[in-house]
Structure 1
């Protein structure tokens, strides 16, 4: 299904000061992860300076927004920030963007930015990518689009290098396979160039951290009962086998994991990264 080799990212946010954040970035790199990813929202530090610090603390680690909430910035401002970080990291930045989760509406209002309709938010994502390409010139900053519905998948199929399948937390195997098929159909000849990604909320057999349970509205048992694709359980070898199955079935090759499982998931990274 996919010719892409496995690679892995960690979704994490800064805690403490710059020294602690730099140490986190170094640890992510040491464990063999490809990318340090950071979410976007006013409850957090700004992703652009945070990712710049993480990149400066490491040598090969990629950094990326996961993902920018489009309405929080004008398309031109988002592209300007993204292009700047791409240049300063010497190409180690991935420009991740989406239309924003519902809770981002209050952030947009706090910033004096319009939230807009679903269609307007999607157009803002497209414009941000267009401006980034203009600023990049001969440079190519990889673009990651988080896409759930058909229209977002269609946009991602035309514009993205990486597409994160933004499925509901309880979505099972068939749902993800259907999304991937929709993406490939829309992408046509460039389907093979697109890296398919998704984020894991739960790893192994431990319970999900309380804040994550609140965020997704489910505990580990509920995820398991629905065959949620945001969960991989068992031993490292069993988890590796499951991810190979997902690559065969719907092309998943780029897997990001909740930062709470950074150490626990590292043996799976060791087994699969680059294979």
Structure 2
């Protein structure tokens, strides 16, 4: 199923402020990452401001949200911000969007916005994409949807340019392959790129990642988790080639904690 060449993103937050954030952006570009991706959370600087700064500090690095949580903005506000980033970055922005974690309910309330039902949040994503397309005109903002459930997989296949497989960290490989097939079926003749976010490089799980995923290293290894890559550079490269063959994933993102550790794999596989 080898289709698209590999490219790589690094997921990081601008939590420590300007100088450190710009250093991260420049380092990601130096190491050959395609994209710097920024999470969306009211406890962090807004990704739109952070990504605009990162784009100014670099020359070719793409920037993207990972992902805008639909409950934290109206659909039209999200589309406006996204199109604006496409304009000010010279076309280097990728809109990543998803329905948001359950923890976003309280954050949405703080903003005076409804969290919404599952269907309402899906409808908001669809409206955001449609509105971005309208605002873009002759430009094009690539849209990435983080797709966990069947409804959003179908929506992503129908409307997104990029779809990140967002099942649970212990989702079996065969089940994830089925999810990828659902997305491709929904896409039909549309050309889409499939992605996968890898939380852990190596066999040590940082405490903040373990808290987020709810799984320690032993559990991830025992379940052959797709959220982990370990072994030598050769081992990791071979595993990613296997995942591309079996799942069709070619856009791999890793947590910023592993930006240096994963760089040799980026150098090995980027563009291949």
**TM value normalised by structure 1:** 0.97
Which residue matches 1:196?
A: 194
Which residue matches 1:111?
A: 111
Q: Distance in 1 between the 2:249 and 2:16 partners?
A: 34
Q: CA deviation at 1:17?
A: 2.6
Which residue matches 2:207?
A: 210
Q: Describe the SS at the equivalent of 2:220.
A: helix
Q: CA deviation at 1:219?
A: 0.9
Which residue matches 1:154?
A: 154
Is 1:9 equivalent to 2:13 in the alignment? Answer: no
Which residue matches 1:62?
A: 62
Residue 262 of structure 1: which of 250, 255, 259 is its match? 259
Number of equivalent positions: 272
Q: Distance in 2 between the 1:23 and 1:4 partners?
A: 30
Q: Distance in 1 between the 2:71 and 2:227 partners?
A: 26
Which residue matches 2:186?
A: 186
The correspondence of residues 121-160 of structure 1 with structure 2, limited to 5 A, is 121-160=121-160
Contact 2:15 2:45 (C-alpha < 8 Å) held by counterparts: no
The correspondence of residues 97-108 of structure 1 with structure 2, limited to 5 A, is 97-108=97-108
Could you say what the CA RMSD is over the residues aligned between the two structures, in angstroms?
0.8
Q: Distance in 1 between the 2:74 and 2:220 partners?
A: 36
Which deviations, in whole Å up to 9, do the C-alpha atoms of 1:132-161 show, x marking residues without a partner? 011001111000001111110111011100
Which residue matches 2:20?
A: 20
**Of 251-260 and 16-25, the range deviating more from structure 2:** 16-25
Is 1:242 equivalent to 2:239 in the alignment? Answer: yes
Q: Distance in 2 between the 1:2 and 1:113 partners?
A: 43
The correspondence of residues 212-227 of structure 1 with structure 2, limited to 5 A, is 212-227=209-224
Which deviations, in whole Å up to 9, do the C-alpha atoms of 1:84-129 show, x marking residues without a partner? 0000000000001011011111110111100111000000000011
Contact 2:95 2:141 (C-alpha < 8 Å) held by counterparts: yes
Q: CA deviation at 1:56?
A: 0.4
Q: Distance in 2 between the 1:95 and 1:186 partners?
A: 20
**TM value normalised by structure 2:** 0.98
Contact 1:171 1:227 (C-alpha < 8 Å) held by counterparts: no
Q: Distance in 1 between the 2:220 and 2:172 partners?
A: 9
**Could you list the runs of 5+ residues in structure 2 that have no partner in the other structure?**
none
Q: Kindly report structure 1 stretches of 4+ aligned residues shifted beyond 3 Å.
A: none
Contact 2:28 2:36 (C-alpha < 8 Å) held by counterparts: yes
